[in-house]
Amino acid sequence: MTSASELRSGKGDRDENFPVASWIIHPRHRALILAYYNFVRTADDIADHATLPPDQKLACLDLLEAELLGKGDTQAEAVTLRRALAERGMTPRHALDVLIAFRMDVTKLRYETWDEVIHYCRYSAMPVGRFMLDVHGESTSTWVASDALCAGLQINNHLQDCGKDFRELNRVYLPRDALAASGASVEQLGLAQSPPAMLACLQSLAARNEALLDEGRSLAAEIRDFRLGVDVAVIQAYADRIVRLLKVRDPLRERVHLNKFELLTFSLAGMIGEVGRRAIGRKAISRPGTAHDA
């Protein structure tokens, strides 16, 4: 391999469940956010590559990490992010964290409990929110709500793509204890439609994830930056709609995503709600608790 870019899947920022460096975000932040996104997307695509052997995947991820830390200049995504972070005086900690998750993707194919899935989200999803908050100079006190929202977004994605992940990667994020409690089996993820037991499992996990997303609902109001607060409100609106769909639909039988009309509708709802909240000066919702291990 000469470049990690050669292993990209072709998936880009417009394919995500949330806006990446959207027009809502101040232009001064977009280059750095896109540099972070491209680094993460490249590492994710390496971990998910259909034919690359596990040892080569790990070697590629190690190379990205080394060059992010300044040990080489052959990987464009690592070099671009390294320089963008240096310009802002930021550390690479949140990029290094996501690499832990992608190494887990290479080496860990099953999860026993909900807590194991949340531990995975600590490295796959929570660093993304923490990075965005750091870019905008927000307090680490916002990490509690951010961690919940980001984990909820990740689990939405796990539920949406559960069949594809199993068929293409033999990877299952549905906790084994949840499958067992519903009388479902991993092999059912290969079917074209969920049997009753699998559907019950998927929808119970969606309900549990809805509660997790509720824990992050205060985030937009806790953020000082107006643009970021509005952007987060839009993301929350997307996540809420998707989890509601997952509670009633079968992701093995149909694609559970937002269509263009829904994206527009929930974007407007999120923006209007947050702008209105800030206009009348409603206070942030306070939630007890502490951020996941920093």
Predicted confidence (pLDDT) per residue in 50-78, tens digit: 899 999 999 999 999 999 999 999 999 99
So what's the pLDDT on residue 22? 62
Question: How would you class 176 by CB atoms within 10 Å of its CB: exposed for 0-12, middle for 13-18, buried for 19 or more?
Answer: middle
Neighbours of 19 (CB within 10 A): 17
So what's the pLDDT on residue 282? 57
So what's the pLDDT on residue 212? 98
So what's the pLDDT on residue 290? 41
User: Which residue in 230, 239, 237 sits closest to 275, CA to CA?
Assistant: 230
Query: Cα–Cα distance between 147 and 279 in angstroms, integer?
Result: 26
So what's the pLDDT on residue 283? 53
Mean per-residue pLDDT pooled into runs of 10, the chain (294 residues): 58 50 79 95 94 95 97 96 98 98 98 98 98 97 98 97 96 98 98 98 98 96 92 93 96 89 68 68 48 48
Provide the token pair at 220. 């937009």
pTM for the complete prediction? 0.87
Neighbours of 272 (CB within 10 A): 13
pLDDT digits (tens, 9 = 90+) for 188-216: 999 999 999 999 999 999 999 999 999 99
Query: Cα–Cα distance between 165 and 74 in angstroms, integer?
Result: 30
So what's the pLDDT on residue 268? 72
So what's the pLDDT on residue 279? 75
So what's the pLDDT on residue 288? 39
